[in-house]
Amino acid sequence: MIEAAVRSILLADPTVYGLVGTRMQPAPLPLDTTYPAISYLKASNAYSRIAGRPRIQIDCWSKDWTECQTLAKAVETALDGYSGIVNSVNIEIIVPLNSQDFYDNETKLYHVPYDFKVIYRK
């Protein structure tokens, strides 16, 4: 599963791990989550017999704007241009697509959803 491979890349990155540890899971995050944290999901998945090329959304969450921005940048640095074999998945390249900044008045959380294109061999 490509999402698990991307999670493994992020867990192996010392900067990302230093910010969130293992607080990284498929969306949605539980209500009792300690922040900062990351949630992720497969936002789209174009069909191909030979190579997968889903769009994976990595969501960075924090109660502090600067911390959220730092986490988003760490995720970008860990994933941008990544290639290699992870969890038996041959990832050819990961490319950042776009991100946005949000603040939720109800939860009082800053949120940066960041989309990545992941190209891998099936």
pLDDT digits (tens, 9 = 90+) for 35-65: 999 999 999 887 666 667 899 999 999 999 9
CATH code given to domain 2-121: 3.30.2000.10
Is 64 strand, coil or helix? coil
For residue 86, what are the β-bridge partners?
Answer: 89
Nearest to 80 by CA among 62, 59, 96: 96
What SS3 string covers 12-61? Answer: HCHHHHHHHCCCEEECCCCCCCCCCEEEEEEEECCCCCCEECCEEEEEEE
| pLDDT tens digits for range 61-76 | 999 999 999 999 999 9
pLDDT of 46: 73
Give the separation between CA 110 and CA 51, rounded to whole angstroms. 35
Q: Taking the domains of the chain in order of start, what are their residue ranges? A: 2-121
Query: What is the end-to-end Cα distance of the chain in Å, rounded?
Result: 10
